[in-house]
């Protein structure tokens, strides 16, 4: 039997797929295949990563052997020798997971250097300073990344050197000084680890490959994966490539490029170039790169080859490419290509343009858009008039579009803390690092002093749909003093600024925001396609005419959930509500409900009008009654006086209504079982309003009446009877006919388990996946915040089950109840109205589970429409 | 197509079954078949009852026609005429459901009487007084039962008549006076109903049959059905029979008899006879019946026929019979026979005797005993005679059987203090909490105002075998004033009450107690048979060596659940527990746990010794930590001082630990995820104690370690690893080998749904059906007491799902998880440790679902053993 291959040379790896090679490895194999110039190398597969962990975080001998065999192949192809005293082969070692995880994984460059290889490299390139710089960088990266030791002390050595010599730039440091640093680094290494820095390149290589595998499990990677729903089990591959040196002098350099503008989607190559530098200089934002025109001017032939290759790559991948390249002594190497991250607006434009160019079809265009990205398009921008009057403090790179207004936070922690208190903040940082991710997500906008369009801040902010301006060099940020200075004027934590992510401008004070404008046509065109393909209907959760109108503008096909409890809190009704709750006399309760009826009827009437005849699903009162009662003594006294009872009586009743576990208490349809008069009043309001609205609209309104918290058929039947009796009574009183539908939430596990029988009498099911998740997991959302962090940290849960449906557990109940419900009643209409209805992954699951519709908050409606279309394209039904 | 039959003559009904004919109807058909003399008649089936309700509580014409056809058959057989002016046919109309519901259903006698029929009857029997009495009784019963009007006024007329004449007995009333009463009754009827009393026997008959059907739905019947788990859907049949007159004079009479003594089970016919009377005189207790010897003396031939028929009936039914008979003019008629109700002790003796007599086999003997009845044998009980005279103050839920008498204690401390002084007390609380445990154990009985069958008080009391009544909503408990009020009457610390844990009744004063008696040998013989047949193992829920020993004496085959939380409340450890909870420093927590370890180890050691090598299953700490913290300011201040922190700090921590829904909060294995040191300490205590006990016993102890509240495989795996690592460490330290098993509770719906994967790493499942019921229904047992009464009243729930497993919902999860768990792991051991483990209906369900064992509180163990045997006999596996 042939030995299992864990290592593939780039030219034998084509077609093996990202799962095995990782995204970067697959890209390198594919580039090799289509003739793009790249440095020789090989990929250590994701299967090797699994083997590494299975072997107790150790690379087994059979993998080690294959790695060295592959090194031998490079040696043969390049004529260089790994660890050779002459013509030494130096390599880069990079991670490459199945999907890109920017800034999360680690890279080691110039591996293979030792004293002898340094001498050889120096002599063979006639550039001793370059060789010394490589050596210094390598020791630093190896110590920091492969050995996991902080780089602080070594950075300090460099800084002290520069300070002592009065240097501003790294490039001013001399060859001798670099070699002095190499010695200092090595001595430091020995002090820290108690052994010499490894001079054997083979030891270096195996250590580096192991370090990449290890980094899959580092806390930053885990956070990123959780945010992006990337399974831990995928693992990463490692790519080992002979080095291309961008720092060999003025005919060398490094760059990054996009085949189209990643911020706007405009056609035309968008690239940046940094002469005499290695890639890390660009990514780390240490130096700000130049426009690609610099290359055109200095090395037109290389520029032409670059442009041709970019077109070749985009034609091949049929999508906008994000590339890294290096020029070594006038020779061009592509180091990586991948489908580029882009803003939502750019994503839409690129998809439409590629479709118009005949490169992709409609379905592919729909699949190209990340539904989550649409969120950013729906959010506000600056009012143009106000903008004209605003004072521009500075301009940076427009890294991620949008408009953000807030007070300044100088640390991620502060941003998060103030965000939790409800404050709107702008995160201001010299540059961001992966530790800042949560703070970034808590901010209205991010502003950095350093970094380019592909710096950490820029890439992450675009992913989040956060407004972001980077590389604003005129901003002086003092993180310690918590000040931001523009032209001598100092702004602190209490000052408000406005950030324009679309232009890069920073303004003083708060500029007026105007709602999102979706008129460019790209959005509408893609949404129209989405509606063409999707089978799943999309409704909205809306309690007010305003929300309902907003949702209709976003394409909602009806209201899937109108919560009626909010309607009881208005000043003109809460008094009656409380009076009802405090009374044990049905006559008093009925009189109080009679007083609420006209208000409730008017609420529904307005809602029907806003929906113009589209479906409106109204849920009966859900929360426990004690939620409506006042808490503090003053209010209690006031209430007692108003109702004409003693304070003691009110307190006794509050005490009586107290619940140990209100989430599992006297709420939902249990209220209607005990107090049928509540259900009767609501049924009357719903039907009377429908009669009025039908007349106003000149077409029939067919309300859907939803019974919450049902656990079984007998309970459903009992409450349905209360509703139907009152509804029929109202219709008889008015002498009209009107269709209405009575159905139930499925949010109690038992309801899902006994769906067959409930479906026989229910006209619809609507999964309340919030409560269903709580009951199925047995934890309350409010209390779980205390222990869920431990669950994420220990990977017991990989994602928030309240954000994305738990397919294995809760999802099984959804599938079961849908299947058995429809078996019990072929006409049963099935939807979902929990938060999950607007989550793309969950929407796909609901499509695959055979639901008829999802209902979500208004701003999620476009997201759900697109996700539904993608689900249908991937898995037609 | 033949018309559907709703009415069967007795001689064509044999073999049609109780479902259709009801128990009484089937008995009459069977008696006819075996030649027992009974009055002619027919049965209107239970299907007619359904038709009656389906037709809007109206008897449809096609049923009416069949009834009159059957009347015609009786007329032909008896030569009498229904409504005839000569030789009139009078009938009785009786209810007869599938199972006997004594006192719940209503009977009408002498139907068919009107003025003409009265004259005919009077003349043909030469007994005008008898005919007048029949007439009077009939009008009374018809008005009361068929028309649903209270008999108060009519009874008053009779009493006034007797008083005015100075009569003591009804028999002293003259014929003329009776006829006067008939007139008065008729006038009264007209006054009440505005119409004449119906003189048409056909109208009377249809009204009476309808009344019987209607009475199926009366409140008393509904209560009885709920108590006895009889489905509403069964309905009742109606039996119409020509009257046999026991009140025709001295050669007439009526009686009841048992073929054996129903109180003791002694062999020998046990019967009573009342001359010149109808059955209602006996049942109503108006006159005291005589011994059957009276009949022997007066009419030896009739007596002999009676005795022979009784033997024939018992031989036929092979069980003790409960019979009604009438003698009319020296001719014997049996009116009814059925398997007789008996005391638990009698039930055992009769089963054993019938087995010895060769009438039934072992399996039948086992099936003959109602497992629920065993309860009364295991506890002292109230003296039956004294009970009859007692005043019932209120009724709560019978949470833990037994009888308790004592003065009232309103705090656990007071109960304990007075118990130590030798006083017998009843602990009276609004509800109990873990701090009350010692006080509960010091009391004769516990009474709470709030809580259901699985509330804290109920669960703990059952575990202790303490008499307990919970949720007694009519009791008003003022703990501050130390008063208990029933209907306005106030009882204090010096008042004595009696509590009946088997019925839920509370009585005023001290009722005489009689001790438990298991000495007859009948109990042991039946239990031995039960053990021979059953496949389901029976364990016990026990937290203390005392409980464990008690359970072993009752035949427990191991401990299925040892709750460790109670162990933390003892004075010598609660301080350390609180110290641990209050610290955020792991070192402090570990030190506190180290202090608890020796106590915990000793607890387990004693438990292992008590079980002598039988299985002991220990559950890790389950409740949320805040349950262990003090509540009142004084205790908080004391604790702060003892630990050396500020009161503010303690209060802050209490505030932090507060939960919105503690039932779904930070508890169970979630504690071990956050604080692995707790799990480690418990694992160490469990294993170290097992090492000690193995040495002491000279045989290996194999502890089972149970992880509570698991929701999925990753969580289980995480906690299991903590346990296994510590266990292995302990074993290594001691240099010994010892088997132990790690498994999980299945009490979260998601765990049941994902059982396949959990089973791959769990060695056992134990269904925690209390929590599983709460989560599956989505209601907390503590809060549900407020609305469940409405659910019972409206028949949404027909029984308490915390007492008997909900087979459709919760049960489906149990079946699913058992099946899929065993598919995932063929070696998986599956049991149940919720309260349902001691409920016979639930035990049968668990047997049928393929479980390996049930575990219940000690006093339920014999119940479960017998129920398990019956399940296997009914459905062998």
Contact state of A809 with B750 under an 8 Å Cβ cutoff: yes
* pTM as predicted: 0.79
Q: Which of A329, A403, A270 is nearest to A125 (CA)?
A: A329
Q: Does A673 touch chain B (CB under 8 A)?
A: yes
pLDDT of amino acid B102: 56
Contact state of B783 with A749 under an 8 Å Cβ cutoff: no
pLDDT below 70 — which residues of chain A? 1-2, 102-105, 226-227, 280-286, 434, 453-454, 462-465, 517, 519-520
Structure confidence by residue, pLDDT tens digits, B809-838: 999 999 999 999 999 999 999 999 988 999
The Cα-based distances of B487 to A642, B19, B410, B476, B493 in angstroms read 31, 43, 19, 9, 18
pLDDT of amino acid A273: 93
If you average pLDDT over each of B71-80, B266-275, B382-391, B617-626, which comes out highest? B617-626
How is residue B179 written in tokens? 């006829």
Q: Does A778 touch chain B (CB under 8 A)?
A: yes
Collect all residues of chain A within an 8 Å Cβ-Cβ radius of residue B774. 664
Whole-complex ipTM: 0.78
pLDDT of amino acid B616: 98
Q: Does B747 touch chain A (CB under 8 A)?
A: yes
Tell me the pairing of strands B489-491 and B483-486: antiparallel
Contact state of A673 with B775 under an 8 Å Cβ cutoff: no
Q: Which of B380, B428, B434 is nearest to B407 (CA)?
A: B428
B523-556 burial, b at 16+ Cβ within 10 Å, e below that, comes to bebbbebbeebbebbbbbbbbbbebbbbbbebbb
Collect all residues of chain A within an 8 Å Cβ-Cβ radius of residue B431. none
Question: What span, in angstroms and rounded, lies between the C-alpha atoms of A524 and A526?
Answer: 6
Question: What span, in angstroms and rounded, lies between the C-alpha atoms of A417 and B757?
Answer: 39
For Cα atoms B528, B533, B537, give the angle at the middle one, nearest 5 degrees. 85
Of the partner residues B673, B776, B787, the one whose CB lies closest to the CB of residue A796: B673
Burial class (CB in 10 A: 0-12, 13-18, 19+), A239: buried
Which residues of B are designated catalytic? 456, 833
SS3 B752: helix
Question: What span, in angstroms and rounded, lies between the C-alpha atoms of A337 and A308?
Answer: 14
pLDDT of amino acid B685: 97
Q: Does B659 touch chain A (CB under 8 A)?
A: yes
Q: Residue for token digits 């490079």?
A: A74
Element containing residue B642 per DSSP (H, E): helix B633-643
Mean model confidence pLDDT for chain B: 91
Counts for chain A of helices (H) and strands (E), in that order: 36, 31
Q: Which of B864, B857, B802 is nearest to B471 (CA)?
A: B802
Q: Residue for token digits 């068929």?
A: B146
Cβ pair A761, A744 in contact under 8 A: no
Of the partner residues A673, A753, A795, the one whose CB lies closest to the CB of residue B787: A673
Question: What span, in angstroms and rounded, lies between the C-alpha atoms of A114 and B291?
Answer: 117
How is residue B250 written in tokens? 């001295």
Q: How many CB atoms lie within 10 A of CB A64?
A: 18
Contact state of B774 with A664 under an 8 Å Cβ cutoff: yes
The Cα-based distances of B393 to A83, B400, B425 in angstroms read 97, 19, 18
Collect all residues of chain A within an 8 Å Cβ-Cβ radius of residue B718. 794, 796
Give the CB-side neighbour count of residue B766, counting CA atoms within 13 A: 32
How is residue A462 written in tokens? 């675009």
Size of the A and B interface in Cβ pairs below 8 Å: 165
Q: Residues of A numbered 122-141 whose beta carbons fall under 8 angstroms of chain B's beta carbons: which are they?
A: none
How would you list the strands of the sheet with A290-291, edge to edge?
A290-291, A267-275, A253-260, A321-328, A331-339
Chain B: residue nearest A752 by CA?
Answer: B809
A603 phi/psi in degrees, rounded to 5: -55, -50
Cβ partners under 8 Å of residue A755, min gap 6: A746, A765, A816, A817, A818, A820, A821, A824
Structure confidence by residue, pLDDT tens digits, B361-417: 999 999 999 998 888 788 888 888 888 888 899 998 888 888 999 999 999 999 999
How is residue B527 written in tokens? 């239990």
Q: Give the model's confidence band at B105: pLDDT under 50 very low, under 70 low, under 90 confident, else very high.
A: low
How is residue B314 written in tokens? 């018992």
Please pick, among A49, A134, A669, A833, the residue that the annotation labels catalytic: A833
Cβ pair B80, B71 in contact under 8 A: no
Question: What span, in angstroms and rounded, lies between the C-alpha atoms of B462 and A671?
Answer: 32
pLDDT of amino acid A1: 46
Question: What span, in angstroms and rounded, lies between the C-alpha atoms of A862 and A330?
Answer: 48
Cβ pair A767, A832 in contact under 8 A: yes
Q: What percent of chain B has pLDDT over 90?
A: 64
Question: What span, in angstroms and rounded, lies between the C-alpha atoms of A63 and A51?
Answer: 9
Cβ pair A447, A402 in contact under 8 A: no
Collect all residues of chain B within an 8 Å Cβ-Cβ radius of residue A748. 776-778
Structure confidence by residue, pLDDT tens digits, B338-362: 888 887 888 999 999 999 999 999 9
Q: How many CB atoms lie within 10 A of CB A69?
A: 12
Cβ pair B547, B463 in contact under 8 A: yes
A238 phi/psi in degrees, rounded to 5: -125, 135
| DSSP type of residue B436 | G
Question: What span, in angstroms and rounded, lies between the C-alpha atoms of A468 and A465?
Answer: 9
pLDDT of amino acid B1: 47
Q: Residues of A numbered 38-97 whose beta carbons fall under 8 angstroms of chain B's beta carbons: which are they?
A: none
Collect all residues of chain A within an 8 Å Cβ-Cβ radius of residue B778. 664, 709, 711, 747-750, 771, 775
Q: Which of B230, B215, B262, B213 is nearest to B99 (CA)?
A: B230
pLDDT of amino acid A764: 98
> How close A237 gets to chain B, by Cα (Å)?
25
Cβ partners under 8 Å of residue A214, min gap 6: A57, A148
> How close A56 gets to chain B, by Cα (Å)?
16
Question: What span, in angstroms and rounded, lies between the C-alpha atoms of A129 and A131?
Answer: 5
Q: Does B673 touch chain A (CB under 8 A)?
A: yes
In whole angstroms, how large is the CA radius of gyration of chain A? 32
Collect all residues of chain A within an 8 Å Cβ-Cβ radius of residue B771. 778
Question: What span, in angstroms and rounded, lies between the C-alpha atoms of A124 and A131?
Answer: 10
Q: Does A257 touch chain B (CB under 8 A)?
A: no
Question: What span, in angstroms and rounded, lies between the C-alpha atoms of A667 and B343?
Answer: 43
Tell me the pairing of strands B290-291 and B267-275: antiparallel
Contact state of B664 with A774 under an 8 Å Cβ cutoff: yes
pLDDT of amino acid A702: 96
Question: How far is Cα of residue A277 from the mean position of the Cα atoms in its chain?
Answer: 32
**Once rounded to an integer, what is the mean pLDDT over residues B419-448?**
89
Q: How many CB atoms lie within 10 A of CB B739?
A: 9
């Amino acid at each position: 039997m042939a030995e299992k291959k864990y290592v593939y040379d780039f030219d034998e790896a084509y077609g093996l797929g990202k799962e095995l090679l990782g995204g970067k490895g697959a890209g390198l194999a594919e580039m090799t295949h289509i003739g793009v110039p790249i440095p020789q190398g090989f990929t250590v597969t994701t299967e090797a990563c699994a083997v590494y962990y299975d072997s107790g975080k150790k690379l087994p001998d059979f993998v080690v052997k294959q790695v060295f065999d592959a090194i031998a192949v490079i040696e043969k192809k390049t004529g260089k020798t790994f660890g050779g005293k002459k013509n030494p082969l130096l390599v880069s070692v990079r991670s490459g997971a199945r999907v890109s995880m920017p800034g999360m994984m680690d890279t080691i460059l110039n591996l293979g250097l030792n004293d002898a290889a340094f001498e050889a490299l120096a002599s063979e390139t006639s550039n001793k300073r370059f060789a010394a710089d490589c050596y210094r960088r390598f020791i630093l990266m190896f110590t920091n990344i492969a050995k996991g030791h902080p780089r602080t002390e070594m950075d300090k050595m460099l800084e002290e050197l520069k300070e002592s010599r009065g240097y501003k730039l790294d490039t001013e440091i001399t060859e001798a000084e670099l070699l002095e640093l190499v010695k200092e680094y090595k001595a430091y290494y020995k002090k820290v680890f108690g052994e010499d820095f490894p001079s054997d390149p083979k030891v270096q290589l195996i250590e580096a490959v192991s370090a990449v595998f290890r980094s899959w499990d580092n806390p930053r990677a885990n956070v990123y994966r959780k945010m992006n729903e990337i399974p831990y089990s995928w693992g990463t591959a490692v790519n080992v490539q002979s080095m291309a040196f961008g720092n060999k002098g003025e005919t060398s350099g490094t760059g990054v490029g996009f085949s189209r503008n990643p911020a706007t989607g405009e056609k035309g190559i968008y690239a940046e170039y940094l002469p005499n530098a290695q890639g890390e200089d660009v990514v780390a934002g240490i130096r700000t790169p130049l426009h690609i025109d610099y290359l055109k001017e200095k090395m037109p032939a290389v520029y032409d080859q670059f442009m041709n290759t970019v077109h070749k790559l985009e034609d091949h991948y049929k999508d906008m490419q994000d590339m890294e390249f290096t020029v070594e002594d006038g020779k061009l190497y592509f180091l990586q290509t991948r489908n580029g991250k882009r803003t939502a607006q750019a994503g839409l434009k690129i998809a439409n343009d590629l479709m118009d160019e005949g490169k992709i079809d409609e379905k592919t265009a729909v699949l190209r858009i990340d539904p989550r990205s649409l969120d950013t398009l729906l959010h506000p921008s600056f009012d143009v008039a106000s903008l004209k009057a605003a004072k521009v403090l500075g301009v940076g790179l427009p890294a991620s579009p949008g408009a953000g207004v807030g007070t300044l936070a100088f640390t991620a922690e502060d941003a998060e803390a103030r965000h939790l208190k409800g404050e709107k903040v702008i995160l201001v940082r010299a540059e961001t690092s992966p530790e800042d991710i949560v703070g970034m997500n808590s901010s209205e906008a991010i502003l950095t002093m350093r970094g380019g369009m592909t710096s950490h801040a820029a890439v992450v902010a675009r992913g989040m749909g956060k407004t972001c301006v980077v590389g604003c060099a005129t901003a002086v940020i003092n993180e310690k003093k918590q000040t931001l200075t523009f032209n001598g004027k100092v702004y602190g934590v209490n000052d408000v600024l406005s950030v324009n992510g679309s232009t890069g401008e920073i303004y003083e004070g708060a500029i007026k925001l105007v709602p999102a404008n979706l008129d460019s046509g790209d959005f509408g065109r893609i949404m129209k396609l989405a509606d063409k393909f999707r089978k799943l209907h999309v409704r909205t959760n809306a309690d007010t005419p305003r929300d309902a109108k907003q949702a209709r503008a976003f394409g909602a096909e009806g209201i899937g959930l109108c919560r009626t409890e909010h309607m009881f809190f208005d000043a003109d009704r809460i008094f009656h509500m409380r009076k009802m709750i405090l009374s044990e006399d049905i006559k008093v309760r009925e009189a109080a409900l009679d007083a609420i009826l006209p208000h409730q009827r008017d609420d529904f009437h307005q809602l029907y009008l806003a929906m113009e005849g589209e479906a409106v699903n109204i849920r009966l009162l859900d929360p426990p009654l004690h939620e409506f009662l006042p808490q503090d003594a003053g209010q209690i006294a006031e209430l007692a006086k108003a109702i004409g009872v003693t304070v003691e009586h009110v307190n006794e009743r509050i005490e009586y209504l107290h619940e140990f576990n209100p989430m599992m208490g006297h709420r939902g349809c249990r209220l209607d079982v005990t107090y049928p008069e509540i259900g009767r009043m609501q049924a009357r309001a719903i039907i009377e309003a429908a009669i009025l609205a039908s007349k106003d609209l000149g077409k029939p309104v067919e309300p859907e009446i939803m019974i919450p918290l049902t656990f079984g058929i007998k309970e459903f039947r009992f409450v349905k009877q209360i509703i139907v009796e009152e509804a029929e009574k109202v219709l008889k009183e008015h002498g009209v006919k009107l269709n209405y539908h009575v159905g139930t939430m499925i949010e109690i596990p038992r309801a899902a388990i006994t769906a067959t029988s409930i479906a026989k009498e229910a006209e619809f099911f609507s999964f309340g996946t919030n409560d269903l998740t709580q009951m199925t997991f047995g934890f309350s959302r409010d209390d779980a915040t205390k222990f869920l962090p431990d669950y994420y940290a220990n990977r017991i849960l990989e994602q928030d089950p309240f954000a994305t449906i738990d397919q294995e557990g809760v999802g099984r109940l959804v599938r079961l109840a849908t299947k058995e419900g429809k078996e019990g009643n072929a006409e049963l209409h099935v939807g979902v109205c929990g938060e999950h209805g607007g989550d793309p992954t969950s929407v796909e699951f609901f499509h695959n589970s055979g639901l008829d519709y999802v209902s979500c908050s208004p701003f999620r409606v476009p997201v759900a429409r697109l996700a539904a279309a993608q689900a249908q394209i991937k898995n037609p039904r």
